[in-house]
Amino acid sequence: MLKVLTPKWLKIERRPVPSGGVIFLVSIIAIVAALLVAAIFFAAYGVSPISAYRSIIGGALGNWSGISETLRRMIPLLLCGIGLTIAFRALFWNIGADGQLLLGAVAATGVALFSGLPGPLLLPAMFFAGFSAGALWGVIPAVLKVKLGINDVITTLMMNYIALYVVLWLIHGPWRGPSMRGYAYTDMFPPAARIPVIGQSHVHWPTLVLGIVLAVIMYIFLNRTRGGFEIRVVGENPHAARFSGISELKTIAIVMVLSGGLAGLAGVGEVAGVHYQLLDPTQISMGYGYTAIIVAWLARKNPLAVIITSFFFGVLMAGGDVIKVNLGLPFQLIHVFNGLIMFFLIGSELFMNYKISIRRQ
Amino acid sequence: MQKKILLTAVLAVVLIAGIAVIGAAKAYVPGTPITAGFIYVGPIGDYGWTHAHDVARQIVAKEFPWLKTVYVENVAAGDTVSTIDKLVNDKHCNVIFTTSFDFMNGTLAAAKKYPDVIFAHCSGFKRAPNMATYMADFYQVYYLNGLMAGALTKTNKIGYVGAFPIPELKRHISAFTIGVRTVNPNANVYVRWTEAWENPAAAKEATEALVAEGCDVFAFTQDSPTVVQVAAANGALSFSHYSPMYRFAPNNVISGELVHWDKIYADFLRKVYNGTYTAHNLQNVDYWWLLSQGAVEMGAKPGMPINPIFINKLKATIVDDPELGKISVYDLIQTRLDQMANPGITFDPFQGPVYDRKGKLEVPAGMWMSVNSLTSMQWAVKGIIGPWPGEP
Where does residue B251 rank: exposed (0-12), middle (13-18), buried (19+ CB within 10 A)?
exposed
For residues B364 and B308, membership in a common domain is answered with yes
Q: Given pLDDT bands bounded at 50, 70 and 90, which one contains residue B17?
A: very low
CB B112 within 8 A of CB B264: no
Torsion over CA: B165, B260, B136, B329 (sign) = negative
Q: Given pLDDT bands bounded at 50, 70 and 90, which one contains residue A2?
A: low
When CB atoms are compared, the residue of B20, B70, B101 closest to A183 is B101
Q: In A, residues 177-236, which contact B (CB 8 Å cutoff)? A: 181-184, 188, 198-200, 202-203, 205, 208, 212, 216, 219
* Contact check, Cβ <8 Å, B105/A65: no
* Contact check, Cβ <8 Å, A182/B170: yes
Is residue B20 in a domain? Answer: no
Give the DSSP H or E segment for A289: helix A288-298
Cis omega (within 30 of 0) for bond into A16: no
Q: What are the C-alpha distances in Å from B157 to residues B151, B211, B249, B317?
A: 11, 9, 20, 18
Phi, psi (degrees; rounded to nearest 5) at B191: -110, 135
Half-sphere exposure for B324 (CA within 13 Å, toward CB): 18
Average pLDDT of chain A, as a whole number: 90
Predicted pLDDT of residue A172: 86
For residues B183 and B201, membership in a common domain is answered with yes
For residues B247 and B167, membership in a common domain is answered with yes
- Residue to mutate among B86, B89, B91, with most A CBs inside 10 A, is B86
Distance of CA B70 to the CA centre of its chain: 22
Percentage of residues in chain B with pLDDT exceeding 70? Answer: 94
For residues B122 and B145, membership in a common domain is answered with no
- Cα distance between residue A152 and residue B121, in whole Å: 45
Domain that holds residue B274: 33-136+261-293
Q: In A, residues 258-297, which contact B (CB 8 Å cutoff)? A: 270, 274-276, 279-280, 283, 286
Of A101-105, A184-188, A315-319, give the range with the top mean pLDDT. A101-105
Is residue B87 in a domain? Answer: yes
End-to-end Cα separation, chain B, in angstroms = 64
Is residue B324 in a domain? Answer: yes
For residues B267 and B254, membership in a common domain is answered with no
Of residues A136 and B20, more confidence is placed in A136
Q: Quick: pLDDT tens for B166-204.
A: 889 999 999 999 999 999 999 999 999 998 888 899 999
For residues B201 and B334, membership in a common domain is answered with yes
Is residue B390 in a domain? Answer: no
Candidate from A236-250, B188-202, B250-264 with smallest mean pLDDT: A236-250
Where does residue A227 rank: exposed (0-12), middle (13-18), buried (19+ CB within 10 A)?
middle
When CB atoms are compared, the residue of B20, B74, B389 closest to A331 is B74
Q: Given pLDDT bands bounded at 50, 70 and 90, which one contains residue B24?
A: low
- Residue to mutate among B1, B16, B123, with most A CBs inside 10 A, is B16
- Cα distance between residue A341 and residue A34, in whole Å: 5
Name the amino acid, one letter, at B271: K
Predicted pLDDT of residue B18: 42
For residues B37 and B184, membership in a common domain is answered with no
For residues B244 and B319, membership in a common domain is answered with yes
Candidate from A95-99, A175-179, B56-60, B156-160 with smallest mean pLDDT: A175-179
When CB atoms are compared, the residue of A67, A216, A302 closest to B16 is A67
Beta-ladder partners of B131? B119, B128
Which CATH number fits the domain that encloses residue B177? 3.40.50.2300
Q: What is the DSSP letter of A275?
A: I
Predicted pLDDT of residue B5: 54
When CB atoms are compared, the residue of B78, B83, B101 closest to A275 is B78
Chain A residues touching B10 at Cβ < 8 A: 212
Predicted pLDDT of residue B47: 80
Is residue B28 in a domain? Answer: no
For residues B172 and B270, membership in a common domain is answered with no
